């Protein structure tokens, strides 16, 4: 069933923010790039993802309490940075997502992060078959 490899469908356009980026910077980046998540990195270490759901949760405080919380990317991470090899199949990637309850995976080639794959990418392949 999903014989295609992750490297065939991954996105190579990684949008990264530093772990100390504030919530406004993250929102600005997501809006400008028209994306649903950013990768959080501290130095050379990928820590995880901040998604539009994480932003919405933080903004609920603004709506309910009248002030935007002073949060950094590090404090907003809800999805850990799980890395997979670019040679695994789409089916294997789906299994990893399901087991870890995540929607994003970082893709590596020889230990270097070279892309990412999302549940949307995988589902797009599913309906294309």
Question: For residue 26, what are its two tokens?
Answer: 């993250």
User: What does the pLDDT read at residue 59?
Assistant: 84
Residue carrying structure tokens 């990928």: 46
Helix (H) or strand (E) holding 117: strand 112-118
Other beta carbons within 10 Å of 57: 14
* DSSP SS3 for 14: coil
Domain annotation for the chain: domains and CATH numbers: 6-128 (3.10.580.10)
Say what the pLDDT of residue 61 is: 74
Q: Provide the mean pLDDT of the chain.
A: 91
Report the percentage of the chain scoring pLDDT > 70: 95
Tokens found for residue 10: 């991954």
């Amino acid at each position: 069933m999903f014989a295609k490899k992750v490297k065939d469908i991954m996105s190579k356009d990684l949008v990264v923010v530093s772990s100390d980026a504030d919530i406004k910077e993250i929102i600005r980046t997501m809006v400008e790039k028209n994306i649903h998540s950013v990768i959080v990195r501290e130095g050379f270490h990928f820590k995880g993802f901040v998604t539009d759901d994480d932003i919405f949760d933080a903004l609920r405080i603004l709506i309910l309490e009248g002030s935007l919380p002073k949060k950094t990317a590090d404090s907003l991470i809800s999805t850990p940075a799980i890395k997979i090899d670019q040679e695994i199949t789409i089916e294997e990637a789906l299994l990893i997502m399901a087991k870890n309850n995540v929607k994003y995976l970082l893709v590596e080639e020889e230990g270097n992060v070279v892309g990412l794959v999302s549940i949307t990418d995988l589902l797009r392949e599913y309906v294309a078959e």
